[in-house]
Structure 1
Amino acid sequence: MAFRSMICCGNSFDRKGEGKKQTKWRIFSLKELHAATNNFNYDNKLGEGRFGSVYWGQLWDGSQIAVKRLKVWSNNAELEFVVEIETLGRVRHKNLLSLRGYCAEGQERLIVYDYMPNLSLLSHLHGHHSTECLLDWNRRMNIAIGSAEGIAYLHHHATPRIIHRDIKASSVLLDSDFQAKVADFGFAKIMPDGATHVTTRVKGSLGYLAPEYAMLGKASESCDVYSFGILLLELASGKKPLVKLGQTAERTITDWALPLVCERKFDELADPQLNGKYVEEELKRVVIVALICAHSQPEKRPTMLEVVGLLKGESKEKFAVLENDKLFKSPQPTDDRSAVDDGSDIISEE
């Protein structure tokens, strides 16, 4: 595959003026990345997932990078590698992870990004940073709005439009100021002009998949909205997308949250790590927007542009309409149910 011709001249630009300057990125040599990561030393490893491992590195000029190294070469890995590079090469936004470059030598496939000192949202909600309680309410609101703006850019301002298809807590990275950067574009899909959806093999993470996508393979911007709704509930409550009820039983976070919203018990939805330190109106706004985003009927979900306005409190009349939606009028059935579907081609959260 002619990787050098895949992106023209290593330049990308923002079509909506997110920054008038051109963004330079380049092809790295394998030798350079070995040197930067101390030969992919275990002590440099930041994390590991379905795709492979991510390592911290430092270039000769002192700048810090993160290097994603694919586990094994395969046609699927190659496709994901190309998709991620092509997608990141098309876009530029303050809430999207910036591409520094890539390396394709022999069977090695590596993608180089800016290093994010505060790692992922997942690490702060459920990982080794969760006990440090670094996510106060103000930071959570900024992360919610920032990640929403990044996804809205993909849906409404990128040309052509882009569906992410894998919005989840580990796909939201945090810089030194805890500003959100949406990442992990390996499953991204380009939306053809005029298309309302694309039918495709199901990819994504258990607990975040919109029902029409999981069952029928119909991917659209609305599927990302659904996943973002789950992410918002996770951010507000500190709970995982699938809430364990015992040894084997589990239910979705929406099934747990909706009855509490119907009974207006918003305080029971807040992450205990917040110790009651949150803005009540903002918590209510986040949770209601989250549940509307995660509506089982795609046509009931807002667009990501609308979500941004709602989270910022700019659409008070629209929020009042949502708050009085029939979805919140009576408690919903909350029968325990297993969320595992062995017959689907779903990549579970790692």
Structure 2
Amino acid sequence: MPPPYLSSATFLLLLLYSGHLAVSLTEPTFPSFPGCDGTFSCGNIHNLSYPFTGGDRPDHCGPPEFRLTCTTNEYPELISEPVTYRVLEANLTAKTLVLARSDLWNNPCPTTFLNSTLDSNYFDAGGVENVDLTIFFGCSSSLMPIQLQHRFFCDVGGVDLTDSYFLIGNVPIEPILKMIHCFKGVRTPLLRTVADDLNQSMLTLAEALTMGFQVTYSNPFDEKCLECGRLQGQCGFNVATSQPICICNSSICIPPGNSRKGPVTIILSTLGSILVVCGVALGIFVCKQRRKRRNRKEASSLKTESYTQSNFSSSIPSYPSPTTKDFTNCYYFGAQVFTYEELELATDNFNDSRELGDGGYGTVYHGKLLDGREVAVKRLYENNFKRVHQFMNEIEILTKLQHKNLVKLYGCTSKRSRELLLVYEYVPNGTVGDHLHGKLSNSNSNMFPWSVRLNIAIETAEALAYLHESDIIHRDVKTNNILLDKTFKVKVADFGLSRLFPNNVTHVSTAPQGTPGYVDPEYYQCYQLTDKSDVFSFGVVLIELISSLQAVDTNRDRLDINLAAMGVNKIQNHMLGELVDERIGFESDGVVRRMVTLVAELGFRCLQPEADMRPTMKEVVEILRGIQNDEMNAQKPEVVDFVVECGLFKDHNTQPPSPEYGVTNKLVNGSLPNSSDG
């Protein structure tokens, strides 16, 4: 008897259809899929099997993403449009390949300039075995701290690419192209061991490019292949349907016990189909009954919830009630966990009018929490593994720190939230960069005098010294990460790139990260991050405070694009007056002139290319406090010529200055004022 909710006609049609289906299933016609048994060779790679195809092996033996082009006794090639890769090694057990780009094979001067492209659904080149290699072609400036052995020459299709360079590590392509005026930039992975040999000039660039990089491959159809193995079949791929298939004896596998012919089988199949239909009908009936009970229960719950929310709203009339569970007592690394909906409400659905800034890792919005607190909500751009790591890194570091000049972290969303959000105290007066050369620079000449700038330098230095004492390197010190409150007090922010420093070590090895114009040149060259890397970046900040110029500006003269290079050049050539912002009173106020000169001297020391020649942040704090307290005015300055021996700024005539050197009277284009000038 048919179930009560199916009509007799419908039920009869189902039975007839099932009987017809059963008969059809017992007499199928299968296309043939021969030639996928065993292993095969392609070029000089042997013992290949599924998911790979190629050569004489038919297309249906594996997905098209794994089809190889085979040439006798040569490396097979894998095409991932528009780039072709040579397969140097294949490990089917570990599921790894070593690939090298065919267009760069023993040739660092390609005719077309393409970044590596591999389908991330099938291939992952982001393992620890690899490091990025970035090649810059046709550069017209030598401002970047690139070693001479990283330079090479090309002439491609009549295009003169003389003065091309390569860098190893995670470097930003577009800013460098603009900074050193390069024609093109190309990025490709490289085995880390090969990169180390290349960096030490044990290999040429052309040789390194033939050694390739390692990728891990995966096939989204592997789970279905396991089922195929239980049927003792061979996994394959139907190109016509773009679906995996299981091949047994050159045709699609049939589960054991099935036969293609026989009236008994037909009857049994028909009865089985009838039972299946009845089972489906019974399942539909049960599901409908459960849905009715659930709907009644939810309707009852909604009435109760509506009453509760109504009472809550009436008790707090100035704020709308939250629509999700209250996580006030939930903490992560010691930071309060907010719901996404709560922060969405606080920022008016992340309204563009609430945007405070837009950085390399996310956009920051002004918000107001239900408890009345004003906050800055950082919304990370992507919710991928790298962003989750930076998200957790910033939380872990900030929850351990308590300093008046570090921004406070109020909380975050869960790392499983639909978006990664960080909640900070709101610092209302913009960044130092805004006041020096940004959106607030034209209206605050009277509000940003030298006394304020010097105090900003001192408080920033104190915050960085505190971080270093806590074994933390900030790694992205710049004026856009120094916030100011209404009284121009400093709050150092943005710890996404910061690094917890292990105990009892002098440095950690890591690919260079940071903002162009602020990154330590020794860090670029040696991949050794130390607390002195922050000191170099702080030196750039000091030159910005003196000059009100940006760290990198491609609109300046070619030799002055990089402010660190420009600053050292002006100081070395006794032209400090050409560097200083005229609005701070350098020419008219003797006290300001003296203090600016001493800060320029300190900035010069911080910008030394060798880390050992730079002061520590603790020493920087003491020097700046001394300048502010006018303690150095009693010492008569000695005449010393500033020089830097190596790296970015070179002068081989004399030895570098000692930490005790004074200030040259030539430095300020005239006689140095004495204490009576104040």
Partner of 2:386: 76
Tell me the distance in 1 between the aligned counterparts of 2:638 and 2:520.
Answer: 20
Residue type matched to 1:120 in 2? Answer: T
* Deviation readout 1:97-144 (Å, 9 max, x if unpaired): 111111125331110111111111111122111111232111101100
Tell me which of 513, 534, 541 is aligned to 1:224: 534
The alpha-carbon deviation at position 191 of structure 1 amounts to 0.9
Tell me which of 516, 537, 543 is aligned to 1:233: 543
The alpha-carbon deviation at position 255 of structure 1 amounts to 2.6
Tell me the distance in 1 between the aligned counterparts of 2:468 and 2:502.
Answer: 12
The alpha-carbon deviation at position 333 of structure 1 amounts to 6.4
Question: Structure 1 residues 311, 42: CA separation in 2 closer, same or farther (over 3 Å shift)?
Answer: same
Instruction: Tell which deviates more after alignment, 236-245 or 131-140.
Output: 236-245
Tell me the distance in 2 between the aligned counterparts of 1:94 and 1:124.
Answer: 21
Tell me the distance in 1 between the aligned counterparts of 2:479 and 2:497.
Answer: 15
The alpha-carbon deviation at position 35 of structure 1 amounts to 1.5
The alpha-carbon deviation at position 293 of structure 1 amounts to 0.5
Instruction: Tell which deviates more after alignment, 259-268 or 147-156.
Output: 259-268
* Deviation readout 1:309-348 (Å, 9 max, x if unpaired): 111116749x98998474289xx769xxxxxxxxxxxxxx
Partner of 1:300: 613
- Normalising by structure 2, report the TM-score: 0.43
Residue type matched to 1:87 in 2? Answer: I
Tell me the distance in 2 between the aligned counterparts of 1:322 and 1:63.
Answer: 53
8 Å CA contact retained: 1:288, 1:323: no
Residue type matched to 1:69 in 2? Answer: R
Tell me the distance in 2 between the aligned counterparts of 1:155 and 1:220.
Answer: 10
Structure 2 residues not aligned, in runs of 5+: 1-329, 652-678
Tell me which of 613, 621, 643 is aligned to 1:327: 643
8 Å CA contact retained: 1:266, 1:283: no
Question: Structure 1 residues 80, 205: CA separation in 2 closer, same or farther (over 3 Å shift)?
Answer: same
8 Å CA contact retained: 1:261, 1:328: no
Does the alignment pair 1:289 with 2:599?
no
The alpha-carbon deviation at position 155 of structure 1 amounts to 0.6
Secondary structure, counterpart of 2:428 in structure 1: coil
Secondary structure, counterpart of 1:176 in structure 2: coil
* Deviation readout 1:141-197 (Å, 9 max, x if unpaired): 1100000000000012x2xx0011100111111111111111110011111111100
Larger radius of gyration: 2
Tell me the distance in 2 between the aligned counterparts of 1:320 and 1:188.
Answer: 40
* Deviation readout 1:259-292 (Å, 9 max, x if unpaired): 4324544332221343546611210111110110
Residue type matched to 2:404 in 1? Answer: K
Partner of 1:341: none
Partner of 1:253: 563
Partner of 1:60: 370
8 Å CA contact retained: 2:535, 2:615: yes
Question: Structure 1 residues 199, 248: CA separation in 2 closer, same or farther (over 3 Å shift)?
Answer: same
Partner of 1:310: 623
Does the alignment pair 1:111 with 2:422?
yes
Residue type matched to 1:207 in 2? Answer: G
Map residues 135-284 of structure 1 onto 2, 5 A cutoff: 135-156=448-469, 158=470, 161-244=471-554, 250-274=560-584, 276=586, 279-284=592-597
Tell me the distance in 2 between the aligned counterparts of 1:328 and 1:197.
Answer: 23
8 Å CA contact retained: 1:148, 1:307: yes
The alpha-carbon deviation at position 217 of structure 1 amounts to 1.4
The alpha-carbon deviation at position 250 of structure 1 amounts to 4.8
* Deviation readout 1:217-261 (Å, 9 max, x if unpaired): 110000000010011101110112235465866542233223432
Tell me the distance in 1 between the aligned counterparts of 2:405 and 2:639.
Answer: 28
The alpha-carbon deviation at position 71 of structure 1 amounts to 1.2
Question: Structure 1 residues 316, 136: CA separation in 2 closer, same or farther (over 3 Å shift)?
Answer: closer
* Deviation readout 1:49-70 (Å, 9 max, x if unpaired): 2212100011223221100001
Tell me the distance in 1 between the aligned counterparts of 2:558 and 2:580.
Answer: 25
Structure 1 residues not aligned, in runs of 5+: 11-24, 335-350
Larger RCO of the pair (alpha carbons < 8 Å, separation 6+): 1
Secondary structure, counterpart of 1:69 in structure 2: strand
Aligned residues: CA RMSD = 2.6
Partner of 1:125: 436
Instruction: Tell which deviates more after alignment, 242-251 or 90-99.
Output: 242-251
Tell me the distance in 1 between the aligned counterparts of 2:378 and 2:345.
Answer: 15
